[in-house]
Structure 1
């Protein structure tokens, strides 16, 4: 049994779910395989009607789901409402765009006839993290089901409750299994799993990739990021921009893959920047109970995360914003800005995943570009400049899957833009049309012109054709 505590009041148990054994996983995957064969036979419009109905059920239960998510994850209630709302919008986006993405493509000309089909993989295994458990699950569930797959989701034991409820709102072949690494291994390594979709840390990604690779099971992965925000020497210090930047670093207590995790400022403007950043934190950052009005940052997810965050904060760090919390009864960490640390120190070189942000002064664009591109993770970045063309030119040199200009705000993400990474941040793209394509494989039916009824016999013999 997995019992989930409230990170803001760790004496409170929010709820429990049963742990899935390897035998349970086997039974569920075999059920999903059988159901998938019936599900894929339903017309695409029928499948999309089911997904649309689930979106409405989720929307109608937003308040109940958001409160549960806040209590099990420590995210502030407004952010939880936002996550549920974005999940609903994404489901409806998939309903709108799936018909085009999954339509057959046919060419019939003098060379012959080709039909390209978009066929499902069968059973998809989704392994999802705790920091945004609903949207990161929905990014897998919606396109997988629309494409005709069945899906089995294994959420993190740190956020199992809300997604368990939401999965039950789909009248479709979806099931949830619960547990730790053994449950995940039983799911990812199952012989009937046709594709694995994973979002999480590098260690989990390596384990998933090894298991999937042993069976040659295709995967789609996103492994996190240590996103730099680079301020060019002409950046404008404006209150609204600084407010967005602070929340881009500290939303969900910094436990976001695309958070602004490293700030780089020209040396000549470092003091000005630090002052503006502190003032912005005073305006927008209040740490406390995530269910309380006015709170914009809650606790970190666990005692281990609290210890790791505190270890990153040096004595001379600048404490930020209002702090109305008790670290002895909840996993709270006072958010901090670390000024001019060693570029090789863990707070800079490693993904903090905590409410701790370093700011470093640089002397030239070449230096800051080298710093920004350092490391194994290349998920996202941002560049700030009064000259948009200059910002775009600089952004082209980032080793990052996506780059914001003059913001680093998660609400700036658009379903028009694919979301992916380079280096070791993962492969594949979630959101947008490229995310839909991850859950189908192309199958071709081909009638070469030379062999169609009534065609003249081909000349040249077998050697005229490429080997098959």
Structure 2
């Protein structure tokens, strides 16, 4: 990323000499006019009948679906995510919007009772202008998770995407009514969050930025939805029984998007007496499914990390792990370069919409040298032999380095899994589902998967969000819709309705 002449230019992490596109930086002084226009639009949008708002959102879903292939290529080029992964992200955003349009009428409905206690009406009222600040690693779905419910509820939205992936999400946001986009860095965020017409803030991103945003919003008395990442433990109980397909799914739970996912499996706790066999099966599964290379290659399942800074940080973390006595086991294979033509990346079938396809594409494990000198590629590694205080274990690595941590009994595994200030996700793996659910109830996590982890365990009906320093508030499900409304009550107590008896002298309402 570079900012010159008021532009944010986005490079291709796989080919840093290639500028994918640029967006204009929104001058902080201009943020005021953008928010004021959003406030004016709110007056009209909020007065639309709910059915009219949902019809407009359904049209947005159709428009997004029609643009899926082109947006996926753009997103792959600016973010480094495999193009199949990007198609999957946009397709999931479409599915969420369509689910939302079906679910919202019941969830957002007003209710009214008229009985002996009086007449009570409870309406789901929008806040007004919502500020949505989103990250680069899944920019379209993470924007849609805010735009969809906010707009359905009658709010308007000002979206501030990450400078590291602003292109595809800006195009996607243009398909939505009631939505404005501003671009820039921390100063733009401060102007947006602090604007008096912004009534609610939704943020997904790093913990430090989230705390700053929460503090700024708190000074204005504004509610905030925060999802601040995690250091998710995956705990394998002594009776776990994983097939080859299970191991393949587990590998991608850690290495999809090069490990740059808030809910990736980031710490693997394995019974000590089964650790050797586990490592063998894990390495074999990685060789089958984990293919590192150019994200426009439809056979690739892991691309570069997002920036040179991220690559340097991760290599330093790997070197530190080895200095501490750890052993870094290389994983997967490397693909030979295939094409520079973005249009060639729109291929049906190869790699699917999840980016996990791998069969028969001619991978070259010796291709890594080519990539190492031409993009921000970090070799995926399983790291053995680390103590719990090693930085790779104690903090969120946000990259393709994953520690395996043997344990001796379940109480020990639980204590070590919970010994982290972050509490976003976790997973429990067991042949006994009841045993897994009982263990999961003791984990300090907002979302615990059973016998899977990461995207394969998500559901539109399941609320997602963190505990501890991983934030608060929820996305997806009914809870995600209710984040963008507040109760507005009208109450006529029976005592004071026309013809009512009035309140007895000395009585206190209760």
TM bucket (normalised to shorter chain) is over 0.9
Could you tell me how far 1:305 is from its partner in structure 2?
Answer: 0.5
Could you tell me how far 1:23 is from its partner in structure 2?
Answer: 1.6
Task: Describe how 1:60-79 pairs up with structure 2 within 5 A.
Answer: 60-79=66-85
Task: Describe how 1:202-241 pairs up with structure 2 within 5 A.
Answer: 202-241=207-246
Structure-2 separation of matches of 1:212 and 1:458: 42
* Comparing 407-416 and 303-312, the one that deviates more: 407-416
Query: TM-score, structure 2 length as denominator?
Result: 0.90
Structure-1 separation of matches of 2:316 and 2:93: 34
Structure-2 separation of matches of 1:14 and 1:394: 46
Could you tell me how far 1:71 is from its partner in structure 2?
Answer: 0.4
Could you tell me how far 1:308 is from its partner in structure 2?
Answer: 1.1
The structure 1 residue matched to 2:283, chosen from 251, 272, 278, is: 278
The 3-state SS of whatever aligns with 1:317 is strand
> Aligned residue for 1:287?
292
Q: CA RMSD in A?
A: 0.9
The structure 2 residue matched to 1:146, chosen from 149, 152, 171, is: 152
Structure-2 separation of matches of 1:188 and 1:260: 32
Gaps of 5+ in 2: 1-6, 336-367
Structure-2 separation of matches of 1:454 and 1:266: 73
Task: Describe how 1:77-116 pairs up with structure 2 within 5 A.
Answer: 77-116=83-122
Contact 2:84 2:298 in 1 (8 A): no
Could you tell me how far 1:182 is from its partner in structure 2?
Answer: 0.5
Structure-2 separation of matches of 1:387 and 1:339: 27
The structure 2 residue matched to 1:301, chosen from 302, 306, 309, is: 306
Contact 2:79 2:306 in 1 (8 A): yes
Could you tell me how far 1:309 is from its partner in structure 2?
Answer: 1.1
The structure 1 residue matched to 2:508, chosen from 445, 448, 464, is: 464
Post-superposition CA distance 1:86-112 (Å, at most 9, x none):
000111111111111111111111000
The 3-state SS of whatever aligns with 1:119 is strand
> Aligned residue for 1:266?
271
Gaps of 5+ in 1: none
The 3-state SS of whatever aligns with 1:337 is strand
Structure-1 separation of matches of 2:110 and 2:222: 24
Could you tell me how far 1:460 is from its partner in structure 2?
Answer: 2.4
Could you tell me how far 1:376 is from its partner in structure 2?
Answer: 0.8
> Aligned residue for 2:341?
none
Post-superposition CA distance 1:238-278 (Å, at most 9, x none):
10110000000000000000000000001111111111100
Structure-1 separation of matches of 2:135 and 2:373: 26
Query: TM-score, structure 1 length as denominator?
Result: 0.98
Post-superposition CA distance 1:98-136 (Å, at most 9, x none):
111111111111000100011110000000000000000
Contact 2:288 2:332 in 1 (8 A): yes
* Comparing 311-320 and 252-261, the one that deviates more: 311-320
Structure-2 separation of matches of 1:141 and 1:160: 16
Q: Which runs of 4+ in 1 moved over 2 A?
A: 463-466
The structure 2 residue matched to 1:164, chosen from 160, 170, 183, is: 170
Whether 2:249 is the aligned partner of 1:249: answer: no
> Aligned residue for 2:411?
366
The structure 1 residue matched to 2:461, chosen from 397, 416, 435, is: 416
Whether 2:140 is the aligned partner of 1:134: answer: yes
The structure 2 residue matched to 1:191, chosen from 186, 191, 196, is: 196
Could you tell me how far 1:192 is from its partner in structure 2?
Answer: 0.5
The structure 2 residue matched to 1:434, chosen from 479, 483, 486, is: 479
The 3-state SS of whatever aligns with 1:29 is helix
The structure 2 residue matched to 1:384, chosen from 392, 416, 429, is: 429
Structure-1 separation of matches of 2:156 and 2:466: 26
Whether 2:341 is the aligned partner of 1:336: answer: no
Could you tell me how far 1:464 is from its partner in structure 2?
Answer: 2.6
Structure-2 separation of matches of 1:312 and 1:464: 64
> Aligned residue for 1:117?
123
The 3-state SS of whatever aligns with 2:301 is coil
Count of residues in Structure 1 that have an aligned counterpart in Structure 2:
464
Contact 2:82 2:298 in 1 (8 A): no
Contact 1:323 1:334 in 2 (8 A): no
Structure-1 separation of matches of 2:150 and 2:242: 44
Post-superposition CA distance 1:410-457 (Å, at most 9, x none):
122111111111111111110000000000010100000001111123
